[in-house]
Structure 1
Amino acid sequence: MDSGLLLSFLLVDLLLVCVPGADWAYVVTTALRGGPVARAVAGLVCGYALHTVLAAAGLAVLVAGSPRLLTALTVAGAGYLLWLGWGVLRRPAVPTAAGKGAAAGAPADGTPAPDGRLFLGGATISGLNPKGLLLYLSVLPQFLTLHGHRLPVPAQTAALGLLHMACCAAVYLTVGTLTRTLLSARPSAARAVTRTSGAAMLGIGAFLLVERLAML
């Protein structure tokens, strides 16, 4: 693909990824609770891999054009965010002196959540987020060359999707690392950030739910 087009998409995509949202909240909460950030980020990226496959296969357009299916995805994603956000607010654990707190989504007894649960949690958040689907429908198509390009549109879509996944991985790993480094020795500040992340999940989940139901 044209290098100028790829650079333009990269800049726009980085701006979008750097805007805090549900993904950020999940990474921040995982970092402050001592969970493996890389595993949580891998889950988030896996969810966007699903969006990439759907978009490249042309299924994303079908999903967007099906009000019932899109509503089902929105309700499922919003419900999961509400459940996860409430759990974070109810148990705003922070790293201990050793830097090992309870991971995001940990059981009530405070024991760290299994790595698999962190991965599935991230994949669920990004995979069921209709905003991710709309990103692939509204932003990505603007950077596709429909005619006269040596690569077919599905291949171009896959390439841009992979670039988006790489941006997500880089930004979220940085966010997780900085969060743990800067706040691990500040329990009160870490607790406040954890609660803010939980509130953000609740707010985003409620917004998605109300926004979609209002369109019915």
Structure 2
Amino acid sequence: MDTGLLLSFLALDLLLVCVPGADWAYAIATGVCGRPVVRAVAGLVAGYALHTVLAVAGLAVLVAGSPGLLTGLTLAGAGYLVWLGWGVLRRPAPPGADGTGSHSGLFLRGATISGLNPKGLLLYLSVLPQFLVTTGDHLPIPVQTAALGLLHMACCAAVYLAVGLGARAVLGARPTAARAVTRTSGAAMLGIGAFLLVQRLATL
């Protein structure tokens, strides 16, 4: 693939990934609670790996063309965010309270958050195709799609690891501030989920 095209996609993708959202909220909440950030971020990246596989297989376009399926995925993702955010608000664990060996569900939670994130699907449907070269002697479209998907996953891993580990380093020794940030992260997940629910239901 053209190096300039890859760099352009990387710049835009980093800009999008650096915009706080549900993924950020989950990484921050994980970090300030002393849970394994790497495991949580691996889950988030796995969710985007699913989006990449769907895009490579052409299933993402099929989902986009099926309003009922897209609505179902959006409602499921939004509902999960509301449930998870409410749980964080009710029980904001103090830093280090859960140790590093517990919560094997961190990976699955992360994969569910990003895998059901409508923003992730829209990224693969509206942004990524703009960087695919369909004319001339170039790599097949599925290969180009996979390459851009892997680049997006790498950006997510780098940014979310920095966010989660940074939150732990800055707030780990400040229990009161950590609880406040954890509650804010929970409120963000709940708010994003509620917004998506209202937005999608309003279109039915």
Name 1:108's counterpart in structure 2.
none
Q: Is the 1:44–1:125 contact (alpha carbons within 8 Å) kept by the matching residues of 2? A: yes
Note if contact 2:132-2:145 (Cα within 8 Å) is conserved in structure 1: yes
Task: Tell me, yes or no, if structure 1 residue 102 matches structure 2 residue 98.
Answer: yes
Give the match's secondary structure for 1:139: helix
Paired AA for residue 114 in structure 1: H
- In the alignment, what sits opposite 1:107? none
How far residue 113 of structure 1 moved from its aligned partner, in angstroms, is 4.5
In structure 2, the residue matched to 1:148 is: 136
1:171-186 matches, within 5 Å, as: 171-186=159-174
Structure 1: stretches of 5+ with no match in the other structure? 104-110
Could you tell me how far apart the structure 1 residues matched to 2:142 and 2:162 are?
A: 30
**Is contact 1:47-1:125 (8 Å) kept?**
yes
SS of equivalent residue, structure 1 residue 148 = coil
After TM superposition, the structure 1 = structure 2 runs for residues 15-164 of structure 1, keeping only pairs within 5 Å, are 15-95=15-95, 100-102=96-98, 113-115=102-104, 117-164=105-152
| Residue equivalent to 1:212 | 200
Match of 1:193 among 165, 176, 181: 181
* Residues 3 and 86 (structure 1), Cα distance of their counterparts in 2 relative to 1, 3 Å cut: same
Structure 1 stretches of 4+ moved >3 Å: none
5+ unaligned residues in a row in structure 2: which ranges?
A: none
Measure, in 1, the Cα distance between the counterparts of 2:29 and 2:137: 43
SS of corresponding position for 1:34 = coil
Distance in structure 2 (CA, Å) of the matches to 1:149 and 1:37: 42
User: Can you list the C-alpha shifts for 1:56-88, whole angstroms capped at 9, x where unaligned?
Assistant: 111101101111111110111111101100000
**Retained in 2: the 8 A contact 1:49–1:161?**
yes
Deviation of 1:112 after TM superposition, in Å, equals 7.3
> What is the identity, as a one-letter code, of the residue corresponding to 1:183?
L
**TM-score w.r.t. structure 1 length?**
0.92
How far apart are 1:149 and its partner, in Å? 3.5
Counterpart in 2 of 1:202? 190
SS at match of 1:145: coil
199-208 or 148-157, larger mean C-alpha shift: 148-157
